[in-house]
């Protein structure tokens, strides 16, 4: 072997050894043990970007560690795989905090052209401290859309009307073929944003819906913040166009026709001195929270219901029982969909367990001994990949990798919600939109299964598509889309309404 080859091998081995030693001397023995794969400091980043959420489930399957450290250049991540450790974290939100992450997301998604007041609000955004921005939202505004509140029905009713119109348009075509994900995601996009922001919401225009798709794909690039002026030029241009459209909507008073939930949020921020430009930037972040996971989640529920003839029959029977007991026996009242259809609801819970994979991200604000055992150092980040907990056979048994809606049923009734389903988070920061989105998705699936027979065009056989994962989105995108034939059912031709849930 020539000398230069020996030298090269020496340099490579020496560098590798040096990096391993560097990790060893800079890691406290009480911290969670370091997981080294490939090139120290470099490989974890490459794996995160390429494998996304799968990286964490793969490592869990190979190593089964409740918590470990990943070392990146200038950064350490503690990855928490255990439900009990996650629950301790949820009880110590002042120390292991979501705040800096939220502020970072708000800052990077909104862009820097916010006013001084806007910058202050962004900085304060994550802080749940009494009297702060988030405190006010959590105390008085988010509860507006909790179960039993009229504002929740208001949102769900508006969404219902938009989706029912979409279903009727589809039925009017007779036997037809659609891309299931493309059709569903458009319905949820229009219904959710129409319900929250009202009919004048500029994102309802087809041109802006397309622009949203470009912006949404780029959110993760904006968050990475590596030379954004080069890496995210098109995304930034698109964002500025959308901000302008939202600003116009606000200046023209479009929000006066928005839901009372959206009006309460906008008033809350206006009272803190934010003008239309800052508000428009803020709403871009909110819109991401409202639609990104929602648009994807409905696909997986419909897929499982229509691809399993037994489950489909059970769901149809219980949805038919929502039919009105009066002069309109063929009209189904969807206001009770989330309380009176246990099988469909169980399937939705199982979809959350089997498909949702949000990664919770936190920052350690001061040194902390997690569970009295693991030292978490100030400034480090904590990642909790919920997908690992969702697949943990220690929690879900030997069928943890299978789809089985019955795990959420007991004697035909829905079981109490499991604290190990983390699709919507947990504790004080748990998603306030979970009731809205659940009813929305159940309604759309109920309307579709009652109005149509749905079959795959591809050889008539259902094949689960691959999952395209996006780091900042809880549900994967099906890839490729599943093409289906939809055939309107007759006898009866079911109609739908949405009265009052309580
Ligand atoms: C399937 C759809 C959705 C999923 C999976 C989802 C998931 C989540 C999760 C996991 C969190 C907590 C994140 C963390 O702890 O790090 C969260 C927070 C939040 N979500 Fe959702 N969400 C969805 C839809 C919505 C909708 C439709 C709305 C509004 C109508 C909404 C509004 C919010 C808000 C405002 C927060 C912050 C709560 C706080 O800081 O107290 N989400 N969401």
DSSP 255-277: GGGS-HHHHHHHHHHHHTT--HH
| Ligand 1 nearest-atom number relative to CA 441 | 1
What is the average per-residue pLDDT within 230-258?
Answer: 94
User: Domain limits of the chain?
Assistant: 113-358+392-497
CA gap 302, 313 in Å, rounded: 13
- The larger pLDDT score, comparing residue 325 to residue 155, is at 155
More confident position, 374 or 118: 374
The residue with tokens 């859309």 is 145
**pLDDT for residue 123:** 66
Give the residue whose CA is nearest to atom 7 of ligand 1.
Answer: 424
CA of 431 to the centre of ligand 1 (A): 4
According to the model, what pLDDT value does residue 354 have? 98
Locate the ligand 1 atom nearest the alpha carbon of residue 145 and give its number.
30
The predicted structure's pLDDT at residue 107: 78
Q: How confident is the model over 197-228, as pLDDT tens digits?
A: 999 999 999 999 999 999 999 888 888 888 88
- Does residue 468 carry a pLDDT above 90? yes
Nearest CA to ligand 1 atom 21: 431
pLDDT tens for each residue of 369-396:
999 999 999 999 999 999 999 999 999 9
Integer Cα distance of 46 and 175 in angstroms: 46
Q: Among the residues of 34-82, which ranges form H helices?
A: 43-51, 53-63
More confident residue, 254 or 7: 254
- pLDDT band at residue 496 under the 50/70/90 scheme: very high
CATH topology of domain 113-358+392-497: Cytochrome p450 (1.10.630)
Query: In this predicted structure, what is the pLDDT of residue 308?
Result: 98
β-pairing verdict for 381-385 and 75-80? parallel
pLDDT at residue 460 above 70?
Answer: yes
Q: Is pLDDT above 60 for 259? A: yes
Q: What is the total residue count of the chain?
A: 502
**Measured CA angle at 399 (ends 395, 404), to 5 deg:** 100
Is omega for the bond preceding 327 within 30 degrees of 0, making it cis? no
421-434 exposure pattern, b = at least 16 Cβ within 10 A, e = fewer? bbbbbbeebebbbb
CA of 433 to the centre of ligand 1 (A): 6
Ligand 1 contact, 288 CB (< 6 A): no
To the nearest whole number, what is the mean pLDDT of the chain? 92
In this predicted structure, what is the pLDDT of residue 99?
Answer: 83
Q: Which of 401-405, 427-431, 497-501 has the highest mean pLDDT?
A: 401-405
DSSP letter at 219?
H
- DSSP strand E in 346-431: where? 359-364, 368-370, 374-376, 381-385, 409-410, 413-414
In a mutational test of the pocket of ligand 1, which residue from 139, 265, 431, 477 has the highest number of ligand atoms less than 8 Å from its CB?
A: 431
Q: Is 341 annotated as a binding residue?
A: no
Residue nearest to atom 30 of ligand 1 (CA): 433
* Predicted confidence (pLDDT) per residue in 19-44, tens digit: 888 898 999 999 999 998 889 999 99
Mutate to test the pocket of ligand 1, among 433, 439, 469 (most ligand atoms within 8 A of CB): 433
The pLDDT assigned to 2 comes to 79
What is the token pair recorded at 90? 């949820």
Q: Nearest C-alpha to atom 20 of ligand 1 is from which residue?
A: 431
Mean pLDDT of 459-480: 92
Whether 113 has a pLDDT exceeding 60, the answer reads no
Q: Which position has the higher pLDDT, 473 or 113?
A: 473
Q: Which residue has the higher pLDDT, 73 or 154?
A: 154
Q: What are phi and psi of 267, to 5 degrees?
A: -65, -40
Ligand 1 within 6 A of CB of 81: no
Percent of the chain with pLDDT over 90: 75
CA-nearest residue for atom 2, ligand 1, is 294
* Whether residue 401 has pLDDT greater than 80: yes
**Strands 477-479 and 413-414: what pairing?**
unpaired
Residue 118 has pLDDT above 80, yes or no: no
């Amino acid at each position: 072997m020539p000398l230069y080859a020996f030298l090269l091998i020496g340099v490579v081995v020496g560098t590798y050894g040096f990096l391993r030693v560097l990790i060893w001397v800079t890691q406290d023995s009480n911290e969670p043990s370091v997981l080294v794969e490939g090139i120290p400091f470099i490989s974890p980043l490459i794996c995160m970007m390429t494998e996304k959420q799968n990286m964490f489930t793969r490592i869990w399957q190979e190593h089964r560690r409740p918590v470990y450290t990943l070392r990146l250049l200038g950064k350490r991540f503690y990855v928490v795989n255990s439900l009990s450790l996650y629950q301790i974290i949820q009880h110590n939100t002042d120390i292991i905090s979501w705040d800096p992450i939220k502020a970072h997301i708000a800052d990077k998604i909104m862009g820097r052209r916010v006013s001084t007041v806007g910058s202050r609000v962004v900085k304060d955004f994550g802080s749940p401290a009494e009297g702060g921005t988030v405190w006010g939202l959590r105390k008085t505004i988010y509860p507006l859309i909790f179960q039993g509140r009229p504002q929740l029905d208001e949102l769900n009713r508006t969404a219902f009307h938009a989706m029912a119109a979409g279903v009727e348009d589809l039925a009017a075509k007779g036997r037809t073929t659609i891309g299931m994900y493309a059709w569903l995601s458009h319905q949820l996009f229009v219904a959710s944003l129409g319900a929250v922001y009202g009919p004048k919401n500029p994102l309802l225009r087809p041109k802006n819906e397309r622009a949203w798709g470009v912006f949404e794909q780029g959110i993760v690039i904006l968050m990475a913040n590596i030379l954004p002026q080069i890496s995210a030029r098109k995304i930034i241009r698109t964002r500025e166009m959308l901000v302008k459209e939202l600003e116009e909507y606000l200046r023209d008073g479009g929000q006066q026709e928005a839901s009372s939930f959206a009006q309460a949020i906008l008033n809350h921020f206006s009272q803190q001195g934010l003008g239309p430009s800052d508000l428009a930037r803020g709403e871009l972040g909110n819109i991401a929270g409202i639609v990104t996971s929602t648009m994807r989640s409905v696909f997986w529920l419909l897929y499982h219901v229509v691809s399993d003839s037994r489950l489909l029959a059970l769901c149809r029977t219980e949805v038919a029982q929502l039919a009105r007991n009066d002069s309109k026996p063929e009209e189904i009242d969807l206001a009770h969909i989330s309380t009176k259809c246990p099988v469909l609801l169980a399937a939705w819970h199982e979809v959350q367990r089997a498909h949702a994979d949000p990664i919770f991200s936190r920052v350690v604000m001061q040194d902390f001994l997690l569970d009295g055992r693991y030292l978490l150092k100030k400034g480090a980040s904590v990642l909790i990949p919920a997908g690992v907990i969702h697949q943990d056979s220690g929690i879900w048994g030997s069928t943890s990798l299978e789809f089985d809606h019955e795990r959420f049923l007991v004697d035909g009734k829905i079981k109490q919600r499991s604290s190990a389903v983390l699709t919507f988070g947990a504790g004080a920061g748990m998603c306030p939109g979970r009731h809205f989105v659940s009813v929305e998705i159940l309604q759309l699936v109920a309307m579709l299964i009652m109005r149509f027979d749905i079959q795959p065009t591809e050889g008539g056989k259902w094949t689960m598509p691959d999952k395209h994962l996006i780091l900042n989105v809880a549900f994967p995108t099906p890839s490729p889309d599943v093409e289906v034939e939809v055939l309107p059912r007759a006898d009866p031709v079911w109609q739908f309404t949405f009265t009052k849930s309580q």
